[in-house]
Amino acid sequence: MGHPTKIEPSFLHDLAKNAPDSESAFVKKIRESSLAELNSAPFPTRKMEDWRFTDIKPMTRTDFVPFEEAGLLPATDVEEYYIPESDRSRLVFINGEYQEKYSSIGGLGNGVTVGNLSDHLDDKNVEEYLNNLVNYENDPFVHYNGLMFEDGVFIHLEKEAKAEAPIHVLNLYTDSKKPYVATPRMLVVAEEESDVTIIEDHIGLAENAYMTVPVCEIKVKEGAHIHHARIQRDSLSAVHVSRPIAYVEKNSEYHSYTITLGGKLTRNEPRVIQEDEEVDFTLDGLVLIDGEQIADTHSVMDHRFSHAESHQLHKVVVNGDAHSIFNGKIFVRRDAQKIDSFQENRNLLLSRDGLVNTKPQLEIFADDVLCSHGATIGQLDPEEVFYLQSRGMTEEKAKEVLTYAFALETIENIKVESVHKLLIDEVYRYTKANNVSKVTA
C-alpha cells in the first residue's frame, strides 16, 4: 500500500504502519482508500479555522503505541455497566474489540440484525454503505479509523421492523502500561418505517491515557425513527475524537443526545444530512467539564430539501480551568424552503478560570425559512441563588440545585429509564463535586 504522503506525517501515520490485513476484498478497498485519504489530510493545527480554539496537545504530546506494545490490562466488572432494558440487546467492545461472551443479542424481535461488523462483511447493506457515508473533508481521524478498524457494530432493521428493546453499545477502555488508540466503528441502516433506540456508551475503566476515534454511519430511510443517546465517560486523561454522521430520508426522524462527561480532550463532530423532504432531527448535547478538560463540539446540520424541522440545544457547564468550544453550522441550501431550525448554545460558567468559545454559524441560501439561534454565557443568576437561600437553602446547596436544574433539560429527552436515571446521578455527582471543590478552595 504505497501512497505518497503529501502532508507532514503525524503519529497516526506511524501507527498506521500496523494496519491490520483483511481477507475481505471489500475491506481491502476501504483500507486502500483510507490510506490515500490519510496521506492527504493534514493533521490539525491551531492555524486552521476549525481548530483555532482547541488545544490539541493531549493528542500530540502523548506517545501512543500500537496495541501490541501497550501492555493492555484486562477489563474488570464489565457487568457493572449493563443497563437492564438491554439485557438481551447488548454489544460489548473492549478497546474496540468485540466481546462475544459479554454480548447478548437475542432480544430484538423479527427483522432486526445486530452483531459484530466483521461477521457481516458480506451483508449487502455493509457493502453498500460502510465507509460510503463518511463525509468529513480533510479529516485524518475518520480515515485512520477506516484503515484500522476490525470489529464494530452492525445494526440493520428491515422494513417496518421495530426493535423490541434499546440496543446498548458498550465501549469499554481498559488500563494499560502505555497509551493506545482504539477505533470503534458503527453502521446503522434503518429501512422504511423501522424504529430503534441506540445507547452508545464510552467508558474508561481506569484513569490512563488512551485515545478513541469512533466513527458511526447511520442511514435513516423513509419514515424510519432512530433515537440515539451517546454517553461519553472516558478517562480524564483520554482523547475522544468522534465522527457520527446520519442521513435522513423522507418523513424520517433522527434524534441524537450526546452527553460529554469524561476525556481530557474531546472533539465531537456530529453531522446530520437531509436527503429528502419532511424530516425531523435533533442534535442535542450536554457537556459537564471540570479541571483541565477540553470539550469541543463542531456540528453540522445540513438542510438540503424543503420542510425540515431541526433542533439543537447544546448545554455546557464549565468549572475549574476547563474549556468548552462550540461551533454549530446550519446550512440551508438554495431550494430548501420551509425549514424550521432551532439552535441554542447555553453555557454556565462556574469558575473564574473556565473558558467558553461559542460560534453559531448559519449559512442560509433559501428565503422562506425560520432559523433561530442563540448563544449565552453566564454565571448562576444571583437573584435565583438569593431566592433559594431565602427559602432556607445554604448558598452551596442553592448553587448545586441551580446547576443541576440547568443541566437536567437535555437529559429529560432520553427515553430509556435506567439511562435517564444514571445520567441524573452523573449530573448530581458533578454538581456535588463542584461544591466540595469550591468549599475547600
Binding residues vs another protein (CB under 8 A): 381-384, 386-395, 397-398, 401-402, 404-406, 408-409
Q: Are 369 and 341 in contact (CB under 8 A)?
A: yes
365 or 387: CB nearest another protein: 387
Q: How far is the CB of 281 from another protein (least distance, A)?
A: 24
Q: How far is the CB of 398 from another protein (least distance, A)?
A: 8
366 or 408: CB nearest another protein: 408
355 or 401: CB nearest another protein: 401
Q: Are 337 and 366 in contact (CB under 8 A)?
A: yes
What distance separates the 2 farthest-apart alpha carbons in the chain? 71
219 or 314: CB nearest another protein: 314
Amino acid (1-letter code) at residue 184: P
| Number of CB atoms found within 10 A of residue 79's CB | 8
Please state the φ and ψ torsions of residue 124, each to the nearest 5 degrees.
Answer: -65, -25
Q: Are 65 and 180 in contact (CB under 8 A)?
A: yes
316 or 369: CB nearest another protein: 316
Angle (deg, nearest 10), helices 395-411 and 382-390:
120
Q: How far is the CB of 328 from another protein (least distance, A)?
A: 22
Q: What's the distance, Cα to Cα, between the start and end of the chain in Å?
A: 55
Amino acid (1-letter code) at residue 355: L
19 or 424: CB nearest another protein: 424
Q: And the C-alpha cell for 17?
A: 504502519
Q: How far is the CB of 401 from another protein (least distance, A)?
A: 6
38 or 398: CB nearest another protein: 398
Q: Are strands 294-303 and 323-332 parallel, antiparallel or unpaired?
A: parallel
Q: How far is the CB of 407 from another protein (least distance, A)?
A: 8
Q: How far is the CB of 91 from another protein (least distance, A)?
A: 33
Q: How far is the CB of 61 from another protein (least distance, A)?
A: 39
226 or 411: CB nearest another protein: 411
CA distance 90 to 105: 6
Q: How far is the CB of 72 from another protein (least distance, A)?
A: 41
The two counts, helices (H) then strands (E), for the chain are 9, 22
Q: Are 313 and 375 in contact (CB under 8 A)?
A: no
CA distance 400 to 437: 12
User: Which SS3 state, helix, strand or coil, does residue 352 take?
Assistant: coil
255, β-bridge pairs: 227, 282
Q: Are 290 and 264 in contact (CB under 8 A)?
A: no
Q: How far is the CB of 339 from another protein (least distance, A)?
A: 27
Q: What angle do CA 260, 38, 296 make, to 5 degrees?
A: 20
157 or 259: CB nearest another protein: 259
364 or 424: CB nearest another protein: 424
Q: 245: number of CA atoms within 13 Å, CB side?
A: 19
206 or 388: CB nearest another protein: 388
Q: How far is the CB of 405 from another protein (least distance, A)?
A: 3
Q: How far is the CB of 211 from another protein (least distance, A)?
A: 35
Q: Are strands 153-157 and 112-116 parallel, antiparallel or unpaired?
A: antiparallel
C-alpha dihedral over 9, 14, 17, 19, to 10 degrees? -100
CA distance 116 to 101: 13
